[in-house]
Amino acid sequence: MSNKRVLSGIQPTGNLHLGNYLGAIKNFVAMQNEFQCFFMLADLHALTIKTQPKILNESILNTAASFLAAGIDIKKNIIFCQSKVSAHTELSWILNCIARVGWLSRMTQFKEKAGSNKEKASVGLYTYPILMSADILIYKATHVPVGDDQKQHLELCRDIAMKFNSDYNNDYFVIPEPIIPKYASRVMSLRDGRKKMSKSEESDLSRINLTDSKDQIVQKIKKAKTDNDPISENIFSENSTRYEAQNLIKIYSNLKSESLDTVLNDFNGKTFSDFKKNLSELLVEKIQPISKKIKQYRSEDKELINVINTGSEKANHTAEKTILDIKKIVGLL
Ligand code: TYM
């Protein structure tokens, strides 16, 4: 078995969307044969924002079903629940004592999520990147596939790992590398090309969900905001403000596995209404099989729970060893 190891996770909150797919899950599937992979349902992270227990429960199962439907093979890899491996939270406390307050206060995602009322945000939302670091370091992951919005959290994780190694004068922690897709590392909202596509955005028209039907996909792309100019190279010129156009072209390029230049060449001079037909067809071709499989997996929740429990047992096996080592290193009995 290769000693290259992947850990990544997704918060089970709301519907997984095209951003999660292109930014993360597609890469999970691409890496699963080369690496030993741990794919995590980050259910403890989902508690950082107020959520209804029933909805959280459903989202955990939906996210597990989405992993399987997207093609994660559990014969080779592990799908597990963060809350079922207690070593994550144990390590998180130790790392809380390594990380510096100044490091956390620079995290832009906290500022975005907490909004103007920081005092009312949960402490968990503030310290969440430390739990995320524990998720990664407890498996000594060498590679972490994520979208661009998690890059800063990965840098923090690297800083924490280096400080731990230096404070305790060893090289116990592997310093993990982020794996961020070249195109579509930040898929933007279909309604506003300056905002990230997100589960929490109120309008469902802003995102393509992995559970959307063919008609929903076609409608959402039809209604997606664009400009009136035809497709041309200037979409990506330095001063371009054609954000929505950039987003749709990047989505197409990623799904089709073609470079931006090739796509721009193929559609040069065409209108966005022409392009949207092609984009809808491509999206339907890629997303429909996933959404059908999600439904199938959800019709057998017992099986799904079995997959999670088996994966969590395996994850526990690895994580337990790390936490024992770390306790020894820091001087706990
Ligand atoms: P989460 O649940 O917000 O997102 C899951 C993954 O999807 C990516 N992503 C996107 N990529 C491109 N465009 C978008 N619009 C978009 N929206 C989301 C994210 O970058 C992420 O890769 N904290 C993490 C979950 C987590 C984790 C971890 C990840 C917990 N522990 C350890 C990696 C390693 C989160 O909230 O992701």
Question: 201 CB less than 6 Å from ligand 1?
Answer: no
Segment 226-233 shows an average pLDDT of: 94
Contact call for residues 241 and 269 (beta carbons, < 8 A): no
Element (H, E) at 328: helix 301-330
pLDDT range class, residue 15, cuts 50, 70, 90: confident
Residue nearest to atom 24 of ligand 1 (CA): 10
E-assigned strands of 155-283?
Answer: 177-179
Q: At what angle do helices 301-330 and 87-96 cross, to 10 degrees?
A: 40
Please state, in angstroms and rounded to a whole number, the distance separating the CA atoms of residues 307 and 78.
Answer: 9
Token pair recorded at residue 180: 């961020």
CA-based nearest residue to 220, from 254, 253, 256, 190: 190
Compute the average pLDDT of residues 113-142. 94
Ligand 1 atom 5, closest CA? 10
Mean confidence (pLDDT) of the chain: 96
Q: What is the DSSP letter of 225?
A: -
72 lines ligand 1 (CB under 6 A): no
Q: What pLDDT, on a 0 to 100 scale, did the predictor assign at position 223?
A: 97
Cβ pair 323, 138 in contact under 8 A:
yes
* Confidence label for 117 from pLDDT (cuts 50, 70 and 90): confident
Task: Confirm or reject: Cβ of 95 under 6 Å from ligand 1.
Answer: no
222 classed as catalytic: no
Three-state secondary structure call for residue 8: strand
pLDDT score recorded for residue 14? 83
pLDDT digits (tens, 9 = 90+) for 38-83: 999 999 999 999 999 999 999 999 999 999 999 999 999 999 999 9
186 touches ligand 1 (CB under 6 Å): yes
* Minimum CA distance residue for ligand 1 atom 26: 9
Give the separation between CA 22 and CA 282, rounded to whole angstroms: 14
Question: According to the model, what pLDDT value does residue 183 have?
Answer: 79
The tokens describing 275, both together, are 């392009």
pLDDT digits (tens, 9 = 90+) for 158-173: 999 999 999 999 999 9
Average pLDDT over residues 106-114: 92
Question: Taking residues 276-282, what's their average pLDDT?
Answer: 98
CB-based contacts of 210: which residues, under 8 Å, 6+ apart?
Answer: 15, 16, 17, 18, 20, 21, 66, 69, 70, 287, 290, 291, 294
Q: How is residue 227 annotated by DSSP?
A: -
Give dist(CA 29, CA 66) in Å, integer: 12
Q: Each residue of 233-270: pLDDT tens digit?
A: 999 999 999 999 999 999 999 999 999 999 999 999 99
How far, in Å, from the CA of 90 to the mean position of ligand 1?
Answer: 22
Residues 89-107 as b/e (b if ≥16 CB within 10 A, e otherwise) read: ebbbebbeebbeeebbeeb
> What value does the mean pLDDT take over residues 89-96?
98
If pLDDT is split at 50, 70 and 90, which confidence band does 115 have?
confident
Confidence of residue 182 (pLDDT cuts 50, 70, 90): confident
Candidates 5, 8, 20, 51: which one to mutate for ligand 1, based on the most atoms within 8 Å of Cβ?
20
End-to-end CA distance of the chain, in Å? Answer: 32
Placement of tokens 């790992």 in the chain? 161
Say what the pLDDT of residue 184 is. 80
Say what the pTM is. 0.96
Q: How many residues does the chain have?
A: 333
Task: Give the Cα separation of 289 and 149 in Å (integer).
Answer: 27
pLDDT class for 194, splitting at 50, 70, 90? very high
Which pLDDT score is estimated for 2? Answer: 58
